[in-house]
Amino acid sequence: MQQASDKSVIISEILDLRTKNLLSMSKISDYVLSNELVSMALAMVAEDRQINDVLEELFAEEGNEMQIRPADLYLREEEEMNFYEIILRARQRK
């Protein structure tokens, strides 16, 4: 069995929106509003059926993942690049 990391994070699933107010007062930042998340996913799929393929991949046990990284990893502050150019630079960083 793998040992737990000292940097373990506990993420809570919140079903009642009223609980969100309690969390913000206690400065807890890692939680998921599951009903809201499901509603948003259903709305996206209803609008564009192809989104379902993306969501299935992201939510699959062995699926891909998305990460948000600081922009300065890919371009300098004064640089102007389009999205495609930034993607190319990000691939070169690997």
Q: Give the amino acid at 8.
A: S
14 CB neighbour count, 10 Å cutoff: 17
Is residue 41 assigned to a domain?
yes
Q: With contact defined as beta carbons under 8 Å apart, do 66 and 58 qualify? A: yes
36 CB neighbour count, 10 Å cutoff: 13
Number of domains in the chain: 1
- Residue 88: alpha-carbon gap to chain centroid: 21
Is residue 6 assigned to a domain?
no
Residues linked to residue 32 through DSSP beta bridges, in sequence order: 13
Residues of the chain with pLDDT > 90, as a percent, come to 16
Is residue 55 assigned to a domain?
yes
Can you give the pTM of this predicted structure?
0.43
Q: Which two tokens stand for residue 17?
A: 């929106």
Q: Which domain holds residue 32?
A: 12-93
At 84 the pLDDT is 94
Q: Give the amino acid at 50.
A: Q
Residue-wise pLDDT tens digits, 35-77: 777 888 888 889 899 999 988 888 888 878 778 888 888 999 8
Torsion sign across C-alpha atoms 7, 13, 19, 24? positive
Is residue 4 assigned to a domain?
no
